[in-house]
Amino acid sequence: MRTAIYPGSFDPVTNGHLDVIERAAKLCDRLIVAVAVNRDKVPLFTVEEREGMICAACATFGNVTVTRFEGLLVNFARAHGAGAVVRGLRAVSDFEFEFQLAQMNNALAADVETLFMMTRPEWSYLSSRTVKEIAALGGAVADFVPAPVAQALARKFAERGETP
């Protein structure tokens, strides 16, 4: 069985992420979407909320599972029998950072390949950070994220009293 991992913080998951998930799922037998727990970052959504939103968005993909991970990605990949890590690229500017990560992962675990996937042009400008900024300012994000994510963003910012 060919297993790949698509890691990220997914805070929140966007249509760009879903584009990569859908296309990567066609290339392997099993795709694990790995929600990163990074103690150095303060995400808007809890890891449980992020997992739930991705599970809901990927419910129709039969070979996609969602779980969280902490620590070295290559250790997680090996523990799950994954031979590849999928990384999404939006623009050339993403490549340098992603290339360095891929090289470091290769130095740590040469048996785990990195596959770069360009997002479709219609999502190349999209980032979770931008979506959160728009939502925090009361802007519409329904074209950029699944409907449940747009609703969760509205609720989260309303709870925090941050929407205009």
How many distinct structural domains can be found in the chain? Answer: 1
Give pLDDT tens digits for 119-148. 999 999 999 999 999 999 999 999 999 999
- The two most distant CA atoms of the chain are separated, in Å, by 50
Host domain of residue 57: 3-124
Q: Is residue 23 part of a domain?
A: yes
Select from 112, 141, 114 the least CA-distant residue to 128.
Answer: 141
**Which amino acid belongs to residue 142?**
A
Calculate what percentage of the chain has a pLDDT beyond 90: 87
Calculate what percentage of the chain has a pLDDT beyond 70: 98
Domain CATH for 102:
3.40.50.620
Residue 123 DSSP class: G
Is residue 16 helix, strand or coil? helix
CA separation (Å) from 112 to 28, 79, 93, 102? 14, 11, 24, 10
Is the model's pLDDT at 161 over the cut of 90?
A: no
Question: Is-contact 115 87, C-beta < 8 A?
Answer: yes
Q: Is residue 67 part of a domain?
A: yes
Q: Is residue 135 part of a domain?
A: no
Angle CA 7–142–34, to nearest 5 = 10
Q: Is residue 81 part of a domain?
A: yes
Q: Is residue 106 part of a domain?
A: yes
Q: Is residue 13 part of a domain?
A: yes
Give pLDDT tens digits for 63-93. 999 999 999 999 999 999 999 999 999 888 8
Q: Is residue 131 part of a domain?
A: no
β-strands 30-36, 64-69: how paired? parallel
Active site residues: 17, 41, 90, 128
Select from 63, 55, 116 the least CA-distant residue to 90.
Answer: 116
Is the model's pLDDT at 164 over the cut of 60?
A: no
Q: Is residue 10 part of a domain?
A: yes
